[in-house]
A and B are shown apart, each in its own frame.
Chain A
């Protein structure tokens, strides 16, 4: 009897159809909401920033939001280049430092660590992700920046004479608030993100692949190189991009430790500025075109983030195609 009821319930057409449709509508609207929200953000920001979009905005590296001579001939200049440069340099340093460390931690956790150690380390890394960015920033200006000055000085003394490296590692700022410090703080902030995603990705490598590598007489490193890394390339790139996104958008920690000098300097031990940092620093007292310029910086940041994501997607697709070719 009950069996019959169940069957009747399952085959009752109209009811299933309603639930299906509802579910379909829910999912589609949720999917579209993402697009709509993105589009609305972009439209409003471009509209608000429009008055500031001039040739200077994209080509100038000087930032003179006040009118230096009142009614005189000089006009305010809103150039984004120095800030764009700072954001790129700082994020690049962060990624260069954080990626090897994160992948190392993730491999250690999935391939080498005994279970008890693994749980402890995972908890610690998750805790690192939970530290608010302003705490990182304060730690940066009070502890890290002053402590790094002698290190920078040492690196400058050693590498200062070498042709290309010499200009990268120039005379350090006495306050230690530099591109490098900001990059290192950011690296610490994005390590947990990259590590936890990379760990998940490495965990999905089929045991059969690994066993196969072992069976062929591979050492542990050869197994990782031949079985784990190729299988998880796409996922790891995804993890790096998420970390990079966090690094480029990070505001308060960078604003505190980057030193707030509007300049394009090859020397990574110099002070600089970044896009989100200038927005948070100068928003409160801005009016008119000045405000528009700051919103324009937001648009620039938005566009770079989208571009980086597109490039990443392209890289992942290329790699996947190549790997499929190799395995076939």
Chain B
């Protein structure tokens, strides 16, 4: 047990070192946008930051924190993946220095207005993974998708699915739908997408938990859903990209706003970010965004930071860390299946970060 952990650490260390080398060698490359390294002053930083929140970007933040350990050995950051809702509660009551959230702040979250700024960090596609013998390519339109998840379409050879997949022979297998049993930002973004892209057909609304039909099945976390889909022929479920890749399941290509069927990829997600309209507070909605290359079910995630910290030292630490996430962290994102921000949005996020004091 101990040995595995140790070897994983060592492996991670090696991987990070390799990344750092890769980062150095590509610095002269004009293609690598404004990630002009923030690492310069990092080594001298000492301090501690506590954060908690969304579990969706957790893998990414943990990798960034791990790589930060090498760049700034005396800068200790902890991120607790406890869910967006709980993270906002802790942020509102001052228990953490910053928080991660997949959703915007609402009145009931316990975070007073004016006490936070949004910093978008990464995005990730939510895949629609399926398990159907003999079908390795599947295309779905949002209307069909909403019918499948509401159980009005119950077999794979239904005319709606056939219409999306011309030329494909679909078996008469019964569809079994898998969703999350725990409250989750992934569910929230998936249902928000269906509500936006199939407004006339999707009746369940959107949220971290929705009232799924009783004849669907639920699994805990992304891995639980993946396991359900894997276990039964004819199953379908929504899973974030990294867990879906690990499970080896095939994904459906989803019809985007421009009428193109696009597979979930990091490029498709970044295209969705570029196609989304960004508001002044830097919140944006990449779900069902425009653009031919856009993968439409792309979920954003933000960090909440205070515009004014009581302790100026704390403000410096938060700025240093978030800057690290936005610049050096980019190299790590792809490794763990998260899509980076488009250059323009990254610049805006860095400008927003400068308001912190």
Contacts and interface: CB of A to CB of B under 8 A. Distances in A.
Given A175-B231, A271-B217, A287-B108, A281 B182 contact: yes
Interface centre among A64, A141, A174 (most CB of B within 10 A): A174
Interface string B200-229: 000111111111101111111000000110
Given A175-B232, A286-B85, A68 B220 contact: no
Nearest to B185: A285
**Chain B, interface residues (CB within 8 Å), range:** 35 or more
A173 B183 contact: no
A262 interface: yes
B146 interface: no
Contact of A261 (B55, B106, B207, B217): B217
A284 B204 CA distance: 21
A222 interface: no
A260 B218 contact: yes
A63 B181 contact: no
B82 interface: yes
A282 B183 contact: yes
B209 A66 contact: yes
Chain A binding surface, main DSSP class: loop
B162 interface: no
B95 to A, nearest CB: 15
A67 B176 CA distance: 25
A261 B183 contact: no
B211 A62 contact: yes
A285 B183 contact: yes
Contact of B184 (A256, A285, A288): A285
A16 B275 CA distance: 85
**Chain A, interface residues (CB within 8 Å), range:** 20 to 34
B86 interface: yes
B89 interface: yes
A63 B205 CA distance: 13
Chain B binding surface, main DSSP class: loop
A138 to B, nearest CB: 11
A174 B232 contact: yes
Interface in A132-158: 141, 146
B329 interface: no
B218 A261 contact: yes
A302 B176 CA distance: 35
Contact of B209 (A65, A141, A256): A65
B112 interface: no
Nearest to B103: A285
A67 B205 CA distance: 7
Interface in A225-262: 255-256, 259-262
Contacts of B108: 287-289
B74 to A, nearest CB: 32
Contact of A259 (B86, B209, B218): B218
A176 to B, nearest CB: 9
16 contacts: A63-B211, A64-B205, A65-B183, A66-B206, A70-B205, A255-B181, A260-B218, A263-B214, A271-B214, A281-B220, A282-B209, A284-B83, A284-B182, A285-B208, A286-B183, A289-B108
Interface of B: 55, 82-86, 88-89, 106, 108-110, 176, 181-185, 188, 191, 203-212, 214-220, 227-228, 231-232
